[in-house]
Amino acid sequence: MRRKTLLTVAVISSLVLIAGTVDLNNLLNYEDQNTPSYVIEDNTPQDNEISDEGATLGRILFYDKKLSKDNTIACASCHLQEYAFGDTALVSTGVNGVTARHSMRLVNARYSDEVRAFWDERAVSFEDQASQPIQDHVEMGYSGTSGDADFEDLIVELEATDIYPVLFEFVFEDSTITEERIQKSIAQFVRSMESFDSKYDIGRAQVNNDQMSFPNFTSEENLGKQLFFTGPPMGGAGCMRCHDGPEFTLITNTDNNGVIGVANDTSSIDLTNTHSPSLRDLVNPNGEMNGPFMHDGSLDDLEAVVDHYNDLEEVAANTNLDFRLAGAMHALDLNQTEKDALVAFLHTLTGSDIYTNEKWSDPFDEQGDIELIPLEGVGNQDLESAYAFKVFPNPATTRFKIELKEGFYQLEIFDSNGAKAKSRIIKSQHTEDVSELPSGIYTIRVLNLSTQRVSSQTLIKD
Ligand code: HEC
Ligand code: HEC
């Protein structure tokens, strides 16, 4: 990719980004995250590998409330970084009420053979998933039905912003905004959310497989691990038959696990939930739950989860119970020590970076604004070649107009000492207010954001 060469040449500075600023010259690292070598499952499709550019755009979209009809709800409203991108609420609040199911933690969603998304797997991929909440009447409201605006209206709104045409140009080398491009960039950001710095990972890196005792574990944690990875006929809990390590995402092709409730509705049942988030980061680094568990949020803590599997009874109404949990052969008979050990083991699957790393944090400032620092074309003489543009009136008193070829530009105004007096992203037709600048001679410099070409002119301010 042309842009990548430009970016690798750029020296990665230790510049600390301030909230509200995204520097396109110094992207945060999403594409090369040192995933441990024992992690093998990955549902990334060939045509949407994670790039720093794509995930940066995805991050901005994920946190942007503009993606909802009344500008109040972002993806991040129901998927919070502080809860491993889940929600502590039983059901989450959207623009028109609450969701039918409990929100899912998104951490490590990439590291699964399962390509489908949602508790009932109704989305065929994370790309397909990414535009569904936007088009859901309850969640973000661009449904095109019930009097709602539709997805095209959202695209028109994004086109009218200062940032998105520039960002789509930056990522796709063409400023056109489409549903597919939105889906791809959001899916890249979602897949980038990874957590592999847990106590489990520290131990796993020191041994050859999950069966071996981990040197950094307490004996209780090692017992819990053994129960997790051993089948019920051998006295274990058999959790690995569906949530296999070291990823702890759910395998494909399971039926339901006997949790058949509907959130906030005791009179209905729902047999369709056959998918689960990864069992990593069920609790945060302080051991507090990242939300209630299961699609209906019916299990309030990990003790209740273990009891559910230990005491699971077959009910006639559940015609979709997974065979691995059916029949007397599969009954668990864990004692209290074993149950406690299993819970202690589940606590070792929690990392810390995912909760605080800036690359997954809200890029908007408190006013909901974002400032893009565009690519620097400076210093690259090959790219520097003047092109004509109009600045008038010149001399100017309060404002001047600038006319450029179609496109997006970084406008910079330097005073006669070479100090930058102003900088902003503009479209090809622009009026700039210079009433606050002292009289003098200024240099107007414009950088075309797609071609990287720079051109300058002198402006006299009366
Ligand atoms: C109003 C709350 C809400 C909003 C807004 C929301 N989500 Fe969700 N999200 C949920 C709920 C609830 C589920 C589970 C729904 C289900 O399975 O029926 C979910 C599930 C998901 C999943 C599936 C995870 C998996 O492992 O299968 C992904 C991915 C996801 N959301 C991403 C997003 C993205 C991206 C956005 C923004 C475009 C978004 N969500 C907006 C509440 C929300
Ligand atoms: C037959 C496959 C299967 C087995 C075996 C199994 N699970 Fe599950 N698990 C599931 C499914 C399916 C879900 C999603 C269920 C739902 O919400 O309706 C799930 C959900 C969970 C959740 C909730 C995750 C969340 O984000 O809310 C936890 C925790 C969990 N399982 C732990 C365990 C433990 C511990 C064991 C071993 C005692 C175990 N599971 C055994 C299939 C299985």
Q: Is the pLDDT of residue 13 over 70?
A: no
**What is the dihedral sign for C-alpha 162, 164, 169, 175?**
negative
Which one has a higher pLDDT value, 447 or 337? 337
Q: Is the pLDDT of residue 289 over 60?
A: yes
Q: Is the pLDDT of residue 9 over 50?
A: no
Q: Which atom of ligand 1 is nearest to the CA of 109?
A: 26
At 111-145, the pLDDT tens digits run 999 999 999 999 999 999 999 999 999 999 999 99
Q: What pLDDT shows up at residue 387?
A: 67
Give CA–CA dist 218/199, Å, rounded: 11
Cβ 29 vs Cβ 359: under 8 Å: yes
282 ligand 2 Cβ < 6 A: yes
Most confident of 7-11, 17-21, 128-132, 229-233: 128-132
**234, two tokens:** 């051998």
Neighbour-count burial for 399-434, b at 16+ CB within 10 Å, e otherwise: ebebebeebbbbbbbbbeeeeebbeebbeeebebeb
Q: Which ligand is nearest to the CA of 231?
A: 2
C-alpha Rg value of the chain to the nearest Å: 26
Q: Is the pLDDT of residue 313 over 70?
A: yes
Q: Which atom of ligand 1 is nearest to the CA of 117?
A: 27
Q: How far is the CA of 43 from the centre of ligand 1 (A)?
A: 17
Cβ 175 vs Cβ 169: under 8 Å: yes
Q: Is the pLDDT of residue 163 over 60?
A: yes
Q: Is the pLDDT of residue 72 over 60?
A: yes
Q: What is the mean pLDDT of the chain?
A: 91
Q: To test the ligand 2 pocket, which listed residue (78, 269, 309, 312) has its Cβ within 8 A of the most ligand atoms?
A: 309
20-24, 121-125, 259-263, 290-294: range with lowest mean pLDDT: 20-24
13-22, 25-34, 77-86, 369-378: range with lowest mean pLDDT: 13-22
Q: Is the pLDDT of residue 405 over 80?
A: yes
107 ligand 2 Cβ < 6 A: no
232 ligand 2 Cβ < 6 A: no
Mean pLDDT for the stretch of residues 59-84 = 98
At 167-226, the pLDDT tens digits run 998 999 888 999 999 999 999 999 999 999 999 999 999 999 999 999 999 999 999 999
Percent of the chain with pLDDT over 70: 93
343 ligand 2 Cβ < 6 A: no
Exposed / middle / buried, residue 206 (Cβ in 10 Å: 0-12, 13-18, 19+) = exposed
Q: What pLDDT shows up at residue 386?
A: 52
Q: Is the pLDDT of residue 400 over 80?
A: yes
User: What's the CA dihedral at 416, 420, 425, 429 to 10 degrees?
Assistant: -10
Q: Which atom of ligand 2 is nearest to the CA of 322?
A: 1
Q: Which atom of ligand 1 is nearest to the CA of 67?
A: 38
Mean pLDDT for the stretch of residues 284-311 = 97
Q: What pLDDT shows up at residue 18?
A: 58
Q: How far is the CA of 183 from the centre of ligand 1 (A)?
A: 13
